[in-house]
């Protein structure tokens, strides 16, 4: 039987160590930015964090799928049971812009479903972690807080009836389609942020919904998805009939709505 608590503990250590390496680069100002083939930036901090996380997770002997790792064909991936899905530095644009809104994302995935997640915010020294086995918790500068799950899941229909609603949106990727979706609500307060912090706004009841009608990758969402599921929240495909699935042939996510 897989010990989720033990694996999340290792992921926490990996995230904290990666966060230290990221902050070393952040403070130095020497980012070593390179553009990848898809025109997205990668920095020395991304690469350093990737190496550190792989070193720590290697002890588990589980496969690893990382944004900064080598491409792994679906023919090899499709037989995986448990595996790690990581984004060593989520919010690279925010990192380069020096606004502090970047995270380390480490998810433990069971076949196509996120089973546990760790998200670390290096700038604030805040760590979120959770699974259905462990519950959900936050460590802020070492102080532990347990976060209770919702009694029942939020519903879009209920949110549409609210007189005031707070919507989490991307600071760097707010699409026209997302704006159209938001227009259906009454008296909207937008809260912009980078990286996985938008999901954590839902977790801490600082936002009611996070629509992302634009491109993301599996490693952008998996850790937060696991934590939200453990708090009785969901990350749904746009039609709200099914949640996001992972380790697909194509690693891009469809449009999603988290609530």
Residue 142's pLDDT is 85
Residue 216's pLDDT is 95
- The share of the chain scoring above pLDDT 90, in percent, equals 90
pLDDT grade, residue 40 (50/70/90)? confident
pTM over 0.75, yes/no: yes
Residue 175's pLDDT is 87
Per-residue pLDDT tens for 104-129? 999 999 999 999 999 999 999 999 99
The answer to whether residue 220 scores a pLDDT higher than 80 is yes
Residue ranges of alpha helices (H) inside the chain are 4-28, 44-57, 74-77, 92-96, 156-161, 176-182, 197-203, 218-230
**Under 8 Å between Cβ of 117 and 222:** yes
Per-residue pLDDT tens for 63-112? 999 999 878 999 999 999 999 999 999 999 999 999 999 999 999 999 99
pLDDT grade, residue 39 (50/70/90)? confident
Per-residue pLDDT tens for 9-26? 999 999 999 999 999 999
Domains assigned to the chain: 4-147 (3.30.540.10), 156-258 (3.40.190.80)
Contacts of 34 by beta carbon, 8 Å cutoff, 6+ apart: 41, 42, 43
pLDDT grade, residue 171 (50/70/90)? confident
Residue 72's pLDDT is 95
């Amino acid at each position: 039987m897989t010990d989720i608590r033990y694996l999340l503990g290792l992921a926490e250590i990996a995230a904290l160590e990666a966060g230290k390496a990221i902050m070393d680069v952040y403070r130095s100002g020497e980012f070593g930015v390179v553009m990848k083939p898809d025109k997205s930036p990668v920095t020395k901090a991304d690469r350093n964090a990737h190496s550190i996380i792989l070193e720590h997770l290697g002890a588990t002997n589980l496969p690893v799928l990382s944004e900064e790792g080598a491409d792994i064909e679906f023919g090899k991936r499709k037989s995986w049971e448990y595996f790690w899905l990581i984004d060593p530095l989520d919010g690279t644009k925010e990192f380069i812009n020096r606004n502090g809104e970047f995270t380390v994302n480490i998810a433990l995935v069971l076949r196509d479903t996120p089973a546990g997640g760790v998200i670390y915010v290096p700038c604030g020294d805040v760590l979120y972690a959770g699974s259905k086995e462990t519950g959900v918790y936050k460590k802020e500068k070492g102080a532990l807080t347990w976060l209770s799950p919702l009694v029942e899941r939020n519903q879009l229909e209920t949110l549409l009836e609210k007189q005031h609603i707070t919507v989490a949106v991307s600071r760097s990727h707010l699409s026209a389609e997302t704006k159209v979706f938001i227009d259906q609500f009454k008296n909207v307060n937008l809260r912009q942020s980078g990286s996985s912090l938008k999901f954590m706004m839902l977790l801490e009841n600082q936002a009611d919904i996070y629509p992302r009608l634009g491109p993301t990758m599996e490693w952008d969402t998996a850790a937060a998805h696991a934590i939200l599921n453990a708090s009785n929240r969901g990350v749904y495909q746009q039609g709200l009939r099914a949640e996001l699935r992972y380790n697909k042939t194509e690693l891009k996510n469809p449009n999603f709505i988290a609530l």
